[in-house]
Every structure is written in structure tokens, then in C-alpha cells.
Amino acid sequence: MTHSPAGSPLRVGLLASSPAVLRALHEICRRAGYAPLVHATHPPRPAGGAWDDRLNEIRRHAPASAPIIAPSDRLAARIAPLRLDVLLCHGHLDPLPPGVPASTVHGVVNLHPGDLPPRPGIGAVASALLRGDPTIRATAHLVTAAPTPGPILARSEPVELPDWFDPRLLRREITTATLHLAPRALDVLATAAPVDDRDEAATTTGTPARGLCLLDLARGARDIHHQARMLHYLDWPALANLDDGAVRVFRTRLTPGAIRIPCATGRLWADQVIPLDPRPRR
């Protein structure tokens, strides 16, 4: 049985789809005194043919002390005999199988890469970029049957959202901040009742639509720039219909650059545009 630093026993399980996340989260919890007893995993959406390779990688790197449950169907029935206190969840895009929270003492803790309540959903970071947020904070919260997040257990320090960035490095920084909330959330469960201090209105942040790839030049320069930043983070192309035809736009700027991009208000530039054929449709 695992023990918290304060001496209270907590039996912990992990649920994630990424081998790297499972390894990192296991190690973070182990170092904090909460060695996970089981890893549950599931195919990402869409699963594709690479799922078997990913599952094999998870099995190769999983500690012998934490067996793998995969896929995570019938999860409640399979983890109930383990008498877990809590299941830590990261990156589970679908609703949890019925009965999972009730199959553990404290339920399920979701490690969310965005501010709650204003940035819920799997598009939290993209939404923050689109709205021009200067920073974002990860949140650990209990999962409830309601569509809104449950009681909040911990928040990370703010992660800066620069004007422009390397998407891989920013994703890594946000993921690291999110995963390191796990020991803090477990400490709260082991020692005290969680505090729900939500004080802001939530906005809908589902999966960004591919239609957002087309820059809306009828908007102001700053809004278009934030749209391009969001697309850059997602590794999606930024497209635009200019007078000379359709183009792909690279690295928008609000300060003078190589190419002026027409917009409704303000001034917008880009480092490069590449003509496309045919013109993208609205």
C-alpha cells in the first residue's frame, strides 16, 4: 500500500493514452510517495493502426508493480478489486465508462491543461491562444457526473503564452505543468477536503474546427493574429483569400514584417505567404 508524505494511505491508479505521459506521471507520483498500482490506457481518437504499437510500448516500459488495463472498457469492473483510492486521468477525450468514479474512494482526478472554469474542454490551450490570453494555468479537479468540472484541487503557476513560439516546446511546458499537479492533488485528498473556488464564467472550448484554418480578414489585426497563433500551436495551416488568390500564411505579426496582410482594422504582417490552388472555400 502506498503512503502520502503525511502518512495517510492512498492507492493510486493512472489513466492515459500516451506512453510518455504514463511514464512521466508514474515517476512524478512515485517520487512524491504515491507509487501507482495500475495503469489503464485507451486508444486515442481516431485509434488508427498505430494503437497496437503504442500499447506494446506502454507494456514494455510499465513497471512490473503497475499492471496494464487496456483497452479501458469495463474499467470500473476491472479496477474495483484493486480498492483504489483515486484514479488520475490525463488526456482521456471520451466520457469515462459508467461506474468508474464510484469504483474508487475519492473518484477520478482529471489533470486538465487549462484554467478552470474559463477554459474547459480539450481545446483549452487553443481557446486561450485564440482569445489572446497572456498565460494559462493547468488545473487538477475531481470528475463528477455533471458536464462541468468538479471541485478544484490544485492549479499550476501561470505558463506564458508568448506572441510566437515553438509549438512542441509550448506543448511540453504545458504538459509538464499539468502532470506536476498530481502530487499536490493527491496531498489534498490525503489530508483535507478539496476546496471548490471556481469564480469565473466558463466558455465552451471543444475541439477546434478545421474551418478555423481560413483566416477571417474581415476582423481586426489582433484577432487574426491570435487565430494564426492558435493554428500554429495545433500544427494546422493558416490560409487566407487575398486579392491575388488563395495563400498559406506563415508567422503573422502586429509589427512591420515582410508582407502586409489586409484586414478590417489595424495592421497585420506575415513573414511569408505561399500561393495555393484552388482557393480555399468558406
- Each residue of 126-165: pLDDT tens digit? 999 999 999 999 999 998 766 667 889 999 999 999 999 9
Q: Is residue 131 part of a domain?
A: yes
Instruction: For residues 124 and 263, state if they share a domain.
Output: no
Q: Is residue 16 part of a domain?
A: yes
Instruction: For residues 19 and 97, state if they share a domain.
Output: yes
Q: Is residue 202 part of a domain?
A: no
Q: What's the rounded mean pLDDT across residues 185-198?
A: 73
Instruction: For residues 226 and 180, state if they share a domain.
Output: no
Q: Is residue 204 part of a domain?
A: no
The confidence band for 268, taking pLDDT boundaries of 50, 70 and 90, is very high
Instruction: For residues 184 and 260, state if they share a domain.
Output: no
Domain closes at, from 163, 191, 219: 191
Q: Which of 67, 73, 150 is nearest to 109 (CA)?
A: 150
Q: Is residue 199 part of a domain?
A: no
Q: Please classify residue 115 by burial: count the beta carbons closer than 10 Å to its beta carbon, then call 0-12 exposed, 13-18 middle and 19+ buried.
A: buried
Instruction: For residues 72 and 187, state if they share a domain.
Output: yes
Instruction: For residues 176 and 218, state if they share a domain.
Output: no
Instruction: For residues 271 and 172, state if they share a domain.
Output: no
Instruction: For residues 186 and 258, state if they share a domain.
Output: no
Instruction: For residues 40 and 167, state if they share a domain.
Output: yes
Q: CB under 8 Å to 209, separation ≥6 — which residues? A: none
* Rg, Å, the chain Cα set: 21
| Residue 120: domain span | 12-191
Domain closes at, from 191, 225, 241: 191
pTM of the model: 0.84
Instruction: For residues 185 and 55, state if they share a domain.
Output: yes
Answer with the residue of higher pLDDT: 248 or 70.
248
The confidence band for 48, taking pLDDT boundaries of 50, 70 and 90, is low
Instruction: For residues 226 and 129, state if they share a domain.
Output: no
What SS3 string covers the chain?
CCECCCCCECCEEEECCCHHHHHHHHHHHHHCCCCCCEEECCCCCCCCCCHHHHHHHHHHHCCCCCCEECCCCCHHHHHHHHCCCEEEECCCCCCCCCCCHHHCCCEEEEEECCCCCCCCCCCHHHHHHHCCCCEECCEEEECCCCCCCCCEEEECCCEECCCCCCHHHHHHHHHHHHHCCHHHHHHHHHHCCCCCCCCCCCCCCCCCCHHHHECCCCCEHHHHHHHHHHHHHHCCCEEEEECCEEEEEEEEECCCCCEEECCCECCEEEEEEEECCCCCCC
pLDDT of residue 200: 44
Domain closes at, from 135, 161, 191: 191
pLDDT, mean over the chain: 82
pLDDT of residue 147: 60
- Report the CATH number at residue 152: 3.40.50.170
Q: What's the rounded mean pLDDT across residues 265-279?
A: 87
What domain count does the chain have? 2
Instruction: For residues 32 and 126, state if they share a domain.
Output: yes
Cα–Cα distance measured from residue 53 to residue 38, given in angstroms and rounded to the nearest whole number: 20
Q: Is residue 203 part of a domain?
A: no
Q: Is residue 266 part of a domain?
A: yes
pLDDT of residue 199: 44
Cα–Cα distance measured from residue 60 to residue 54, given in angstroms and rounded to the nearest whole number: 10
Q: Is residue 130 part of a domain?
A: yes
pLDDT of residue 126: 92
